[in-house]
Amino acid sequence: MNGLPKILARRDAAGRTELDIEVGEDNPWFAGHFPEMALLPGVVQIGWAAHFGHALHGLGPGVNTLEQVKFKRPIQPGARLTLTLKIDLAAGKLRYEYQDAEHSYSSGALQFEPSP
């Protein structure tokens, strides 16, 4: 996936990965969304969570359903956030949340297709 955030740090524990990320001001996903106040599209936030669930934990290859997706605050250029991934490999499910020390920006759950 093009336009991924820069990973600053990674922490793993049983069933959980935390990625400290930086969303660069020049990230191509900000282009045209929106000229007066750039923000990261929600579909990209979901796409990044799915990408890292697949790349780091072998979930996938695709997502069947989205559950409890909430966009609480806009993610703007230059944001430094933690993306928390809670993995249930047996169920093929991933819960994700983008947050910083003060706020939650978005969260949800992804149900992946079974691996072939």
Q: What confidence tens digit (pLDDT) does each residue in 33-61 have?
A: 787 889 999 999 999 999 999 999 999 88
Instruction: State percent of the chain over pLDDT 70.
Output: 97
Q: What is the DSSP string of 35-85?
A: TTS----HHHHHHHHHHHHHHHH---SSEEEEEEEEE-S---TT-EEEEEE
Q: Is residue 1 part of a domain?
A: no
* CB atoms inside a 10 Å sphere around CB 83: 21
Please state which of the ranges 56-65, 78-87, 101-110 shows the lowest mean pLDDT.
56-65
- CA angle at 22 for the pair 17 and 23, rounded to the nearest 5°: 115
Q: Is residue 55 part of a domain?
A: yes
Give the pLDDT mean for 59-84: 95
What helix, strand, coil percent values describe the chain, rounded to 5?
A: 15, 40, 40
Q: Is residue 21 part of a domain?
A: yes
- What's the structural domain count of the chain? 1
Q: Is residue 58 part of a domain?
A: yes
The residue segments making up the domain with residue 103 are 6-112
49: CATH: 3.10.129.10
Give the Cα separation of 8 and 12 in Å (integer).
Answer: 14
Confirm if 83 and 21 have CB atoms less than 8 A apart: yes
